[in-house]
Structure 1
Amino acid sequence: MEQPAIADYGFLSDCRSGALVSRDGSVDWWCPARFDGTAVFARLLGPRAGHYRLGPVGAGRPGHRVERAYLPDTLVLRTVHHTPEGSVAVTDALAAGDGVRGHDLGLNSPAVLLREVKGLSGRVRMALDFTPRPEHGLLIPYLRQQADGEVLATAGPATLVLRAGDLPLRVGHDSVREEFEVSAGQIITFDLAYASAYGDPPVRLDASAALQETAWAWESFRETHQYPGRYPDLVRPSATVLTGLTYGRSGAVAAALTTSLPELVGGERNYDYRYSWLRDFAMTMRALWVAACPHETSRLFEWVSRSIGRIGDDPVPVLFGLEGERDLSEHTCPHLSGFAGTGPVRIGNDAWRQRQLDVPGEILSAVWRLRDYLGGTFDHELRDMVLGLTEQVVNSWRLPDQGMWETRDEERHYVSSKVLCWVAMDSAVRLADRLGERADPRRWAAVRDEIRATVLREAWNDEIGAFTGAFGSSELDASALFLPVVHFLSPNNPRMRSTIEAVQRELGTSDGLIRRWSTDPAGFVLCSYWMVECLAMAGDTRRAEELFTRVSGHANDLGLFSEQIDLASGAHLGNTPQALSHIGLINAAWRLTDPVGL
């Protein structure tokens, strides 16, 4: 089988786990226990690592055409296959649970994958191929035919039960392969339920009713907040994707659904993004506030506060597990060849060990944003967190770190990290009246001003006429676009204006994408939207609007973004769907709505 492109996949979510389903109907990724758990289908990363296909026989032959779309304001996916013999619709979803509405999404998801086949015209021959491989493909389960026609698959820690309505299923040695015909008006439902091998048995659902309940659950969630800004046809789907990446039990937002999808096919930057990054915290809060719901913003903040715990001498990690786990030690999976043969496949992410000085700035700026909801005087735990993070910046801002791109070579004095240290101190000064007698705004302001002066002196390169990525560097870095976004400098400051033009000239492409650095072979979606924000803040609305439209045009047919876009082919690269890309879209759209309001 030819490997589907990253952009060929659609995203399903129950706010506990997520699945990827290809255009031809193959579920090639599902970690049913939770987003950062182990996969029962992982063909995305290895051809023998498990899949579950439901689609026409001979898909891809001449005369076969596919149309697909989400039901409005949901992650319920409807794929229509037009074949020479007729047309059939396959509707896919991860069940939300009976009666779930609004903010209850993900709290008690039943871990059931729903699929419905409906004949639209003619008579179409369909193929079912159920080949589960738990533990990221390490295990081959025993398959047993039950008396009621269900198929039970067990191996290691996983139990799966496949039900197919009235369709008889024949069990093979290690898979279920079946062909059947569907006529116009005929409906056949399938449900695949997961459970821990030593917990409660898999849930039984009425698949048709569960599909409708799931659609209603998503629609009711979107009704909790009406986005008032420009480009609602793009913002609302991106907000739904962000909700789909939110782990309902804690409120944490996963950076992406997947691990190890490469930033460059044949490269080595293949990382596990199924965790929640504090580096992205303030940007995520902005996007949730604008396009999702204040309730979700507050839950995310509460999760961060709890995950950090008491502030000590050690720096706060840049990422945590979705229930606040700190140790995310990384290992590789030699049995998996990787997407398009690009390994290694990694589980865990050793970036949690890195020193990244930008983390306190992300958190403290979020505290400032939420100040009116946190009270005129903070409770002792919140005060301790703010004071502890502030003092960490006072003591550490002069140190080098790994930077926002999480390089795995030597530490440097990255400009974006220093600027976020400035953000931290500026936020602390403005929050001082809520922090009690231990606040020291005069000393903090002096540190803030010293950081600013150091950045303006050390980050500027006269030769290239721009702020660079690190002190003493001559290399342009798109992270410099972050300076106006966090209000360190006005985009109309002469040096900042020169930097914006240099980044657009040297790192930009003809279709508007912005690379992170000159050797980067792909456009980075978030940086491209940062450029939109900079232009909008500078008052160059026409260029900002044109760029926003061009960048947004790189989404796939379902409005999904991965992390990067290949400059030669336009293919999606990196983990998908990528929260930061959709966050960038939402924040850029709101910046075009209100240039000074974020």
Structure 2
Amino acid sequence: MSDTPIGDYALLSDRHSAALVGRDGSVDWLCFPRFDSPAVFARLLDEEAGHWSIRPSVPYRVSRRYADQAMVMETTFHAETGTVTLTDALLTGLDDGGHRLGKGVPHVLVRRVACSGGQVPMELDYRPRPEYGLIAPILTPVEGGLTARGGAEWLVLTAPVPVNAADSIARGTFTVRSGETLHFGLHRTTLEEVPARIWGQDELASRLDATVEAWRSWSALHQAYEGPWRDLVHHSGRVLQALSFQPSGAIIAAATTSLPEGVGGERNWDYRYTWVRDSCLTMAALWVAACPDEASDFFAFLTTAAPSLTKDRTLQIMFGVGGEHDLSERVLPHLSGWRGSRPVRVGNGAWNQRQIDVYGELLDSARILSDQLGEVDDDVRRFLIACADTAAEHWRDEDQGIWEVRGAPRHFVYSKVMCWVALDRAVSLAGLLGAGDRVESWRRTREEIRETILSEGWNDRAGAFTQYFGSEDLDASNLMMPIAGFLPADDPRVLATIDAIAERLTDDAGLVYRYRTEGGVDGLAGEEGTFLLCTFWLAEALAMSGQVERARSVFERAAAYVNDVGLLAEEVDTSSGELLGNFPQAFSHIGLINAAWAIDQAERAAAAPS
């Protein structure tokens, strides 16, 4: 059973694949060659499912950080005899124009060991386990390293020190002395690559340095936000970029699968896919944090993945990073799960749910990014028009909602609000889309949706807008009403809803739940933690309503849960304060960026001459 705290991990990304490396120098998660590929290291989910560690063989203390403006991790081990820094990166690069990260990536994990003083005895433990730990591969020594072959994988380890292999485990011991630097590499090769490619020390060193420089160049070119919490916002922008799949423009929700929303519970999902909603919110957040230049790629990806919507003219809500539609869910029974949280799942059964809110997020991001989109081609134009028309046609439908409940579909208020948003944004984009003939119809339906929400979404007994029509339950997604522009932030009903959520949907630490799980609306047993996105939504809504000091307090409450290298999971355990859920979670970093920006805007407005 894996027991390492989620917050002990750091993310590596080449915008194709992701790895997680712990404070102890162990890579416990790695998927080659795509984010959603079967893991070759999965100790994150089971102690026996593979890892690669490099660390001192004597007692040490740890400090770590990301290299300045780069998603390259520097872990420094302080031993009595000396100090050594382990630098980890998945190699990336920039295109010829110096803009796009991840071009021409060879799927290589590089690990630099550099001693800055004294001498430190080190140990290496390498246990590849392809297909989520199912396969113990054959390890074969070659000059300069060894190969691992098993299943569909052929991995090559470059090691500048002697390594002994037996029983699908390779170990080595070595000592690094002051001024000495060693480079290790792991890459996924092909059956045609004979003999196996061992990388030279100079090549690994130069490619690692180029990766640091590529991230820094991208950050300098794209990141211009100068408001409060600037460093956190910029770092969150890099995290979102790291969660994007360069070849297609897709954006994943998180880098992992089955990290639980409640320890020992069944709320364990695979987030390594691209949700339309999450991706659109990511693109909108990057507008603040990183000035995206890949908006056209993203909308081209969606247009290709969903060329004519589905047979019933609705949009599939999620896809594989290559545009795949069938994401059927299955259980991996051989994995014990993080802290015994089972089942461990791959795939995601929500792929065939109906969620009618997605049209709102999609058209809202198109409006926000319209300057980056420029002149849209006919395919994208037709796709966006079809999304608006579908929202107009299906807004009365019940659905599973933003939280993808596995219980009965309902008339969720948030879903209706986002259908209103879809038509509101379609009206403003009509000129760009060449859809002037639809504007009047879109306006009429938009008003009908608004009147229905105001009459059926508000509940006098709850004193707030509620989760679904006829319910008295609260839902944090209704904080999006002012954020999306459905109602002004100072509307009495909005203020009442904000206060109700702040008072009745928060834990003792002041963090916000999505909703109360004991009501059974989601069809699942057990509890979950507080949701960081929802807490940032509360901060954003408070800022928009002019309650800036309250907003700052809520923001700082949520931002305090970033780990030591600035990463957030999906949720926080209400009893322990530990991070819970898949990691790092795009939603949480989206919330941080947008809340910081809203507070900045509110403070600027308050300081402006009247």
Corresponding residue to 1:445 among 430, 443, 468: 443
Alignment CA distance shift 1:183-1:420 (3 Å): same
Matches of 1:348 and 1:341 in 2, distance apart? 20
Alignment of structure 1 residues 37-48 onto 2, 5 Å: 37-48=37-48
Alignment CA distance shift 1:453-1:593 (3 Å): same
Q: What SS is found at the alignment partner of 1:220?
A: helix
Does the CA-based 8 Å contact 1:101-1:220 persist in structure 2? no
Matches of 1:576 and 1:551 in 2, distance apart? 16
- Partner of residue 215, structure 1: 212
Q: What SS is found at the alignment partner of 2:166?
A: coil
- Partner of residue 282, structure 1: 280
Matches of 1:76 and 1:101 in 2, distance apart? 22
- Partner of residue 145, structure 2: 150
Alignment CA distance shift 1:595-1:80 (3 Å): same
Q: TM-score, normalised by structure 1?
A: 0.94
Q: What SS is found at the alignment partner of 1:286?
A: helix
Corresponding residue to 1:174 among 152, 162, 168: 168
Output the amino acid matched with 2:281: M
Alignment CA distance shift 1:434-1:240 (3 Å): closer
Output the amino acid matched with 1:112: V
Deviations 1:155-210 (A, max 9, x none): 11111111122x12222221111122222222221111112445786573522222
Aligned residue pairs total 591
- Partner of residue 191, structure 1: 185
Corresponding residue to 2:538 among 528, 531, 540: 531
Alignment of structure 1 residues 91-490 onto 2, 5 Å: 91-97=87-93, 102-146=98-142, 148-165=143-160, 167-197=161-191, 204=199, 206-230=203-227, 231-312=229-310, 313-374=312-373, 379-436=377-434, 439-490=437-488
Matches of 1:97 and 1:483 in 2, distance apart? 40
Does the CA-based 8 Å contact 1:160-1:202 persist in structure 2? no
Does the CA-based 8 Å contact 1:102-1:218 persist in structure 2? no
Output the amino acid matched with 1:133: R
Q: What SS is found at the alignment partner of 2:245?
A: coil
Matches of 1:97 and 1:428 in 2, distance apart? 37
Q: TM-score, normalised by structure 2?
A: 0.93
Deviation at 1:552, TM superposition (A): 0.8
Deviation at 1:2, TM superposition (A): 6.4
Matches of 2:435 and 2:70 in 1, distance apart? 49
Matches of 1:84 and 1:238 in 2, distance apart? 35
Q: What SS is found at the alignment partner of 1:531?
A: helix
Deviations 1:504-559 (A, max 9, x none): 01112343311112345422111111011101101111111222122111100000
Alignment CA distance shift 1:375-1:23 (3 Å): closer
Q: What SS is found at the alignment partner of 2:182?
A: strand
Q: What SS is found at the alignment partner of 1:406?
A: coil
Alignment CA distance shift 1:329-1:110 (3 Å): same
Deviation at 1:380, TM superposition (A): 3.0
Does the CA-based 8 Å contact 2:2-2:338 persist in structure 1? no
Deviations 1:297-346 (A, max 9, x none): 33222222222212353311111111111111111111111111111111
Q: What SS is found at the alignment partner of 2:237?
A: helix
1:564 aligns to 2:564 (yes or no): no
Matches of 2:96 and 2:53 in 1, distance apart? 28
Matches of 2:189 and 2:361 in 1, distance apart? 37
Deviations 1:45-90 (A, max 9, x none): 11111100101125xx5xx311000111101111111123332211
Deviation at 1:594, TM superposition (A): 1.9
Alignment CA distance shift 1:509-1:450 (3 Å): same
- Partner of residue 23, structure 2: 23
Q: What SS is found at the alignment partner of 2:117?
A: strand
1:522 aligns to 2:517 (yes or no): no
Matches of 1:271 and 1:579 in 2, distance apart? 15
Matches of 1:581 and 1:164 in 2, distance apart? 37
Cα-Cα RMSD: 2.1
Matches of 2:467 and 2:510 in 1, distance apart? 21
Q: What SS is found at the alignment partner of 1:43?
A: coil
Return 49-58 or 425-434, whichever deviates more. 425-434
Alignment CA distance shift 1:203-1:499 (3 Å): farther
Matches of 1:12 and 1:375 in 2, distance apart? 32
Matches of 1:585 and 1:133 in 2, distance apart? 36
Deviation at 1:373, TM superposition (A): 4.7
- Partner of residue 72, structure 1: 68
Does the CA-based 8 Å contact 1:229-1:593 persist in structure 2? no
Matches of 2:155 and 2:173 in 1, distance apart? 21
Deviation at 1:265, TM superposition (A): 0.8
Alignment CA distance shift 1:362-1:209 (3 Å): same
Deviations 1:203-256 (A, max 9, x none): 735222222111111111111123233121111111111111111111211110
Deviations 1:373-423 (A, max 9, x none): 5457x5432332133222212221111000000011110111110001111
Does the CA-based 8 Å contact 1:149-1:169 persist in structure 2? no
Matches of 2:359 and 2:198 in 1, distance apart? 42
Alignment CA distance shift 1:582-1:203 (3 Å): farther
Deviation at 1:282, TM superposition (A): 3.5
- Partner of residue 35, structure 2: 35
Alignment of structure 1 residues 42-57 onto 2, 5 Å: 42-57=42-57
Alignment CA distance shift 1:255-1:100 (3 Å): farther
1:498 aligns to 2:496 (yes or no): yes
Matches of 1:100 and 1:29 in 2, distance apart? 31
Q: What SS is found at the alignment partner of 1:280?
A: helix
Matches of 1:51 and 1:477 in 2, distance apart? 40
Alignment CA distance shift 1:265-1:100 (3 Å): farther
Matches of 1:199 and 1:255 in 2, distance apart? 34
Matches of 1:203 and 1:424 in 2, distance apart? 52
Matches of 2:287 and 2:491 in 1, distance apart? 28
Matches of 1:78 and 1:243 in 2, distance apart? 19
Q: What SS is found at the alignment partner of 1:177?
A: strand
Matches of 1:592 and 1:203 in 2, distance apart? 51
Deviation at 1:103, TM superposition (A): 2.7
Alignment CA distance shift 1:202-1:505 (3 Å): farther
Does the CA-based 8 Å contact 2:359-2:388 persist in structure 1? yes
Matches of 1:415 and 1:2 in 2, distance apart? 39
Matches of 2:334 and 2:216 in 1, distance apart? 41
Does the CA-based 8 Å contact 1:94-1:112 persist in structure 2? yes
Matches of 2:494 and 2:366 in 1, distance apart? 27
Output the amino acid matched with 1:451: I
Unaligned segments of structure 1, at least 5 residues: none
Deviation at 1:589, TM superposition (A): 1.2
Alignment CA distance shift 1:187-1:320 (3 Å): same
Does the CA-based 8 Å contact 1:134-1:155 persist in structure 2? yes
Deviations 1:400-452 (A, max 9, x none): 00000001111011111000111111122223344447832222211111111
Q: Aligned residues: percent identity?
A: 45
Q: What SS is found at the alignment partner of 2:124?
A: strand
Deviation at 1:115, TM superposition (A): 0.7
Alignment CA distance shift 1:431-1:208 (3 Å): closer
Output the amino acid matched with 1:346: R
Q: What SS is found at the alignment partner of 1:122?
A: strand
